[in-house]
Amino acid sequence: MKLQRHGALAALAITATLALAACGSDNTGSGGGSKSTAKAPSTDCAKGSLTSQGSTAQKNAMDQWIKAYQTKCSGAQITYDGTGSGAGIQAFTNSTADFAGSDSALADGAEQKAADKRCTGGEALDLPMVTGPIAVVYNVQGVKDLQFKPATLAKIFSGKIKTWNDPAIKADNPKAKLPSTPIQAVHRSEASGTSDNFTKYLSKTAGSDWTYDHAKEWKAPGGVGAKGSDGVSAKVKQTAGTISYDEWSYATTNSLDIAKIYNGAGQYTELTADAAGKTVEGAKVVGQGNNLKLDIDYNTKVDGAYPIVLVTYEIACSKGNDSAKLDLLKSFLTYISSDDGQAALTQQGYAPLPKSVQAKVQGAIKALA
């Protein structure tokens, strides 16, 4: 199927194996634990070293990719640190990372221009590699199966709703026995693409109640910060009265309660692989050339769609890469975007790229210089 720019993406190849999200990985953080291993790469090996960092949302996947690649390609040394999307972009811009992972594409303007400067004769590309939903997680003693409209979430995370028995939460959950417990909203403490995507969702679906636009840095008052997806998961799991947004594989690995979310079709929708896939199907490519930025419709009216999803990008130079590292960079990125690499995602609670997007990504990687 041919990908049309500004047209709908092909349907995600998401299967029931995404239920294996609870397996996590052998990451040492609370998001990990599984012994699953990605299939050995069929791509040609290259030697050398790569340093990378960024998104914590993709760390479980990246750990497995690196393990599989280095098992076959003994002459390669690759590191990936889950420092957060903002830190990853900064490291890439400062040339201390060979590529970066970010849950948001480079912002047009200053951020894109700063990243472009390190790419002599070229530009910094956004290459979509991992897709996955954002879960709204909570810990309210004795209360299960909560559901929220966007406006309610906007009021909670902006500090306007302060207790769990607030009338707005009751209206969303008429059958729930809600306590008067104070709400503690947990957000990411560092610059985070997950925060950017979540606040983008709030700004697009509840703009009158969320006046902070969207950003990698948390702008709303109040609440408490936690570092990384693993930090958010741990804080919610350990603290009664909390609510947060969390990458799905971390939420399921930590057995957190996950809320249903009201979508543009007027339905409270459970977070499932199929429901998230319906939203990603409507994403549009808005970048130019090999810069494959995607735009997600958070107000999707597709029946049964779960509306809060993110795409994690690998950020790399189209030209101006270190010649001593170029072969390894292209070989590794080719592997993680391949059928073998993408198949490993279902073991980690993510979704593989649609075939049409995958082909575009592989073409862009082949052209790196």
Tell me if 192 is assigned to a ligand binding site.
Answer: yes
Tell me if 96 is assigned to a ligand binding site.
Answer: no
3-state class percentages of the chain: helix first, strand second, coil last, to nearest 5 = 35, 20, 45
Q: Parallel, antiparallel, or unpaired: how do β-strands 99-102 and 224-226 relate?
A: unpaired
299, 212, 295, 211: which is closest to 262 by C-alpha?
299
Tokens standing for 236? 């919610």
What is the rounded CA–CA span in Å between residue 9 and residue 355?
A: 9
Tell me if 193 is assigned to a ligand binding site.
Answer: yes
Is-contact 303 277, C-beta < 8 A?
no
| DSSP codes, 173-224 | -TT-----PBPEEEEESS--HHHHHHHHHHHHH-TTT--S---SS--SSSSE
Element (H, E) at 232: helix 228-238
Tell me if 36 is assigned to a ligand binding site.
Answer: no
Tokens standing for 272? 């499932």
Tell me if 85 is assigned to a ligand binding site.
Answer: yes
Is-contact 182 162, C-beta < 8 A?
yes
Tell me if 57 is assigned to a ligand binding site.
Answer: yes
Tokens standing for 21? 């999200």
Is-contact 224 51, C-beta < 8 A?
no
Cβ atoms within 10 Å of 7's Cβ, excluding its own: 12
Tell me if 103 is assigned to a ligand binding site.
Answer: yes
Q: DSSP character for 163?
A: B
Tell me if 93 is assigned to a ligand binding site.
Answer: no
Q: DSSP character for 317?
A: E
Q: In what order do the strands lie in the sheet with 260-262?
A: 147-148, 260-262, 268-269
358, 348, 349, 356: which is closest to 273 by C-alpha?
349
User: What residues form the annotated binding site for phosphate?
Assistant: 55-57, 85, 103, 192-194
